[in-house]
Structure 1
Amino acid sequence: MPTTSLRYWDPEGEKFGIPTWPWGMGPDPEVMATERQLKARGLRPAGQAAAGQIGWRIRGGDRFANLFLVALAKKKRPMTPAMWASIRKALAARRVCPVCNTAKDYDISRKTGVCNDCPESGLEAAA
């Protein structure tokens, strides 16, 4: 086992407070899974606290991914028509220029804050 892996080897949770394993050496994915792994199975953590974590080092810093018990996970909630309508409304709002108040066929730049037809107004507002 490499020395860097030993840094995160704490299956009893004495060092980190919860059981911790190095990247690639975690528990069986059928028992504990990350949020992304749960999502891929159509599940969600359902408010449970993390039962463990995976640790790794990147660019000189420590990173951790929480692990949740698969047995306590619940099925993902389906999107309701109201949720879909809310998303459509939010996406449409990103296409309306606040200066000329016209709907465009592209998202308004977050950098300038205005459509491509109003570049002068966006530069003056940013200054």
Structure 2
Amino acid sequence: MADQDEDLVDVDPYAPAEPETTIPVFKGLCAPSGYATKRQLRAMGLRPGGQEPVAEVETRGPKNGLLYEIAKARPVHPMTLAKEFALDKAMGARQTCDTYRRRYFFVLPTSLASCLGCHDASQLHRSPGRTPAGRVKASRPGSAGARSRAPQHRQEAGALLPHPFEIRRTPA
């Protein structure tokens, strides 16, 4: 019976296969020199280059900032004309109104697929029996206002209507 007890080994099935390694955590501005965050590396023209973080720095938020060794960092890939063209094309798709193909300096909401002026104008034409204030028009049976019309597109006789935000100046 004593021989059987010596052969048994206590095994923890939840123990990690490899020993867990922890990295040091530094207070806000107490990180040693030679370490930098991704933003600091980017400001220096460097990138982490595939290296694992070597330390953490405490922040005010729920996540800590990861620190990388500056000596192991690699230079950032330079911006080529092809990359710049691709990024401009992608941003242009997010900043262009689908109705008038006009590009803005800000990103348009994807839920609207147009600028706010075109979206507001299309909402006026969505329900033909409503006025801009949202009230229902009073109409008699058989009158022109009683029949329902399809929503009008912002184009009449092949000419585009002026954009809602466009300011027209009259010649003096």
TM beyond 0.5: yes
Give the superposition deviation at 1:109: 3.0
Report the equivalent of 2:37: 34
Aligned partners of 2:96 and 2:108 also within 8 Å: no
Count of aligned residue pairs for this structure pair? 102
Counting only pairs closer than 5 Å after superposition, residues 1-127 of structure 1 correspond to structure 2 as: 17-28=22-33, 31-58=34-61, 62-98=62-98, 100=99, 102-106=100-104, 107=106, 109-110=108-109, 112-115=112-115, 116-121=117-122
CA distance in 1, matches of 2:39, 2:123: 39
CA distance in 2, matches of 1:42, 1:56: 23
Moved over 6 A (4+): none
What percentage of aligned pairs have identical amino acids? 31
Q: What SS class does the counterpart of residue 63 from structure 1 fall into?
A: coil
Which has the larger share of helix? 1
**CA deviation vs aligned residue, 1:61-103 (integer Å, no higher than 9, x gap):** x3300000111101111011110110111122123323x2x22
Which has the larger share of strand? 1
CA RMSD of the aligned region, Å? 2.4
Residue type matched to 2:119 in 1?
Answer: C
Higher-Rg structure is: 2
Aligned partners of 1:97 and 1:108 also within 8 Å: no
- TM (norm. structure 1) is 0.68
Give 5+ residue unaligned stretches, structure 2.
Answer: 1-20, 127-172
Give 5+ residue unaligned stretches, structure 1.
Answer: 1-15
CA distance in 1, matches of 2:123, 2:85: 30
Residue type matched to 2:25 in 1?
Answer: T
Q: What SS class does the counterpart of residue 67 from structure 2 fall into?
A: strand
Higher RCO (CA-CA < 8 Å; seq separation 6+): 1
